[in-house]
Amino acid sequence: MRVVRSLSVRHAGIHSRQAASCNLVGMSLRKVRGIHNAVRDDIADLVTRRAMPTASINNIDPFLFLNHHGPQNYPSPNRGLPFGPHPHRGFETVTFIVEGDIAHSDTGGHESVIEAGGVQWMTAGSGLVHMESSSAAFKKRGGPMECLQLWVNLPASLKMTKPRYTGLQRQHIPEIQGEGTIIRAISGDWGDSKPAMEPLYDIAIAEVYFDAGASRTFTIAAGRNIFFYVARGNVEVNGQAAHQFQLVEFGSEGEEITVTAHSAAMILLGHAVPFNEPIVAHGPFVMNTREEIVAAIEDYQQGKFGLPQDLSPA
Structural domains counted in the chain: 1
pLDDT at 300 over 90: yes
Q: Is residue 8 part of a domain?
A: no
In a domain, residue 9? The reply is: no
Q: What is the pLDDT of residue 26?
A: 55
Q: Percent of the chain at pLDDT above 70? A: 91
Q: Is residue 293 domain-resident?
A: yes
Q: Is residue 292 part of a domain?
A: yes
Is 80 exceeded by the pLDDT of residue 212? Answer: yes
Specify if 193 maps to a domain: yes
Q: Which domain holds residue 65?
A: 14-308
Per-residue pLDDT, 314: 56
7 lies in some domain: no
Q: Residue 78 domain-assigned?
A: yes
pLDDT at 156 over 50: yes
Q: d(Cα 266, Cα 36) in Å, to the nearest integer?
A: 17
Quick: pLDDT tens for 97-140. Answer: 999 999 999 999 999 999 999 999 999 999 999 999 999 999 99
Give the C-alpha separation, 32 to 239, whole Å.
9
Asked whether residue 314 is assigned to any structural domain, the reply reads: no
Evaluate whether 149 touches 119 at the Cβ level (below 8 Å): no
Q: What is the pTM of this model?
A: 0.91
DSSP string for the chain: -PPP--S-PPP--EEEE-TTSPPPTT--BPPEEEEEE-EE--BTTB-EEEEES-SS---BTTEEEEEEEEEEEE-SS-----EEEEEEBSEEEEEEEEESEEEEEETTS-EEEEETT-EEEEE-TT-EEEEEE--HHHHHH-EEEEEEEEEEE--GGGTTSPPEEEEE-GGGS-EEE-SSEEEEEEES--SSS--S---SSSEEEEEEEE-TT-EEEEEE-TTSEEEEEEEESEEEETTEEEETTEEEEE-SS-SEEEEEESSSEEEEEEEE-------EEETTEEESSHHHHHHHHHHHHTTTT--GGGSPP-
Distances (CA, A) of 74 to 7, 135, 251, 314: 43, 13, 39, 17
Q: How confident is the model at residue 312 (pLDDT cuts 50, 70, 90)?
A: low
Torsion-angle region of 69 (φ positive above 0: left; ψ -120 to 50: alpha; else: beta): beta
What CATH number should be reported for the domain holding residue 235?
A: 2.60.120.10
Smallest CA-to-CA distance from 253 within 289, 285, 225 is with: 225
Interval 161-174: pLDDT, tens = 999 999 999 999 99
Look at residue 18 and tell me whether its pLDDT is greater than 90.
no
Which pLDDT belongs to residue 107? 95
Residues β-bridged to residue 256: 29, 219
For residue range 223-250, what is the model confidence (pLDDT) as tens digits?
Answer: 999 999 999 999 999 999 999 999 999 9
